[in-house]
Chain A
């Protein structure tokens, strides 16, 4: 039972982290950003290759740094491209464009390194804590998520973080106050890159790296971000906890292969229930 709780906690942390990143990108670009999936996949690939050279703590640290740098550069280029071309906040094209970019990156990864899952060279021993014995990788995941969330919350207190928070709450008012999304691209990319690379590193260590590896968790993150709206980081984490409980519950009591479909069905229900057409929003 305790092992299940630790697993739920770890999954909640990962989905919550992605939900945080999804909300941040939504605030900056005005749409759901699927390039996070590509960033997670690239981070997972980085960690698998980096730990292939050195599997110890230093190897892990180097892998984390490489993943963060790659994620930050990727997200920065993407944010610049989106804010520069004014796709941002116009017709909700961000999701479709990011889907295309994610597909292209997934295809490129698959083309270069071939299909299948590559396992990392790190063997994490089981951890004994008081009377508990849990998989070490779950502990690493929880610790990574805690560090990433803490750093993200601290970053939200900086001027750039407050700017993004203002954009999240009221984009027009934020721009009246002089918050320019284009100026926030680099700090926001570093913050989101850090969060996404933490998820990617955990994915790479726990499940290995595959070209399509980031898509599912990115979609869970979008669902979790939908679930509790307007409560900042806390709302994203609550959404992550709910999704993790459903995911692990479905894997245990329904079927492991059916669990992702259940989460996608919940996300679909949330999207339909919210309703975004002009008729549904009552715009006259």
Chain B
């Protein structure tokens, strides 16, 4: 029971940190990314490949963060070409392409079987689960802090201008590309780090762990995070991640529990998108 609760805490921490970052992307640039699973997976695979190649854990984490920052920055810059639902559509396609490429690049990623026996991060003699809980807690705090600080001052004003209109940003001399790169790097870096910590904890990465349902869950958490801050993300994590896991204690299979998570994520995504639409309309009417 204790081990199960610890595993669930790790999973909740993983989704919470990812949700905070996803909410940051939605709030800062108004983007709905459906490539969350791919970004988390990039971090996890980068960590796993580097660790199996013999790199020190700190180096592996740095590699994962760098890979995530690059992917996140590319995603955010894509906003210059596609916006709104087309951005969501493009990132969904990107997620599916990523899954296919990772599943077929067997030499590097282990293909459908994934990579196992990944060396873990060591911290003050703690067990793997303890290290994961500490690191994910630190990551959540750090991500929330960065987002909180980021939502103050010139940066947030600049992001609001960019979110409103790229031409307005150009007219006002706001460096649009820099803001998009920064927001994307924070988003990608946080997701990739949470993926790396999970890879270290589980000592295994497989392509099925980062499918489209993970992206939809991360988007749902991000949506509630954008609406209600850290509290919103935490509440959404309890609803979308922890509740389906608890139902397993009542005898539900893990596959059905996954479907329950997908069902709740879908309801949150649809409800938030409708609510945002209605609130924006009311704001415009005022």
- Interface, chain A (partner B; CB < 8 A): 31-32, 85-87, 90-97, 99-111, 114-115, 211, 215, 219, 222, 255, 257-258, 260-262, 264-265, 267-268, 271-272, 274-280, 284
Contacts and interface: CB of A to CB of B under 8 A. Distances in A.
Interface of B is mostly: helix
Interface residues of B, number: 55
B266 A101 contact: yes
A111 B268 CA distance: 17
B234 to A, nearest CB: 21
Nearest to B256: A111
B17 interface: no
Given A99-B34, A278-B166, A87 B277 contact: yes
Nearest to A81: B274
Interface of A is mostly: helix
Contact of B165 (A97, A268, A278): A278
B89 A222 contact: yes
A96 B32 contact: yes
27 contacts: A85-B277, A86-B277, A86-B281, A87-B277, A92-B84, A93-B276, A95-B85, A95-B89, A96-B88, A100-B265, A103-B213, A104-B267, A107-B262, A108-B263, A109-B259, A110-B259, A257-B112, A262-B100, A264-B93, A264-B97, A267-B89, A267-B93, A268-B94, A271-B93, A272-B82, A276-B84, A279-B80
Contact of B269 (A99, A108, A110, A265): A99
Those 6 A-B pairs whose CB atoms lie nearest each other, nearest first: A261-B100, A107-B263, A100-B270, A103-B266, A110-B259, A104-B266
B270 A104 contact: yes
Interface of B: 32, 34, 78-86, 88-90, 92-94, 96-97, 99-101, 103-104, 112, 165-167, 212-213, 216, 253, 255-256, 258-271, 273-274, 276-278, 280-281
Nearest to B262: A107
B273 A93 contact: yes
A115 B255 contact: yes
A175 B143 CA distance: 48
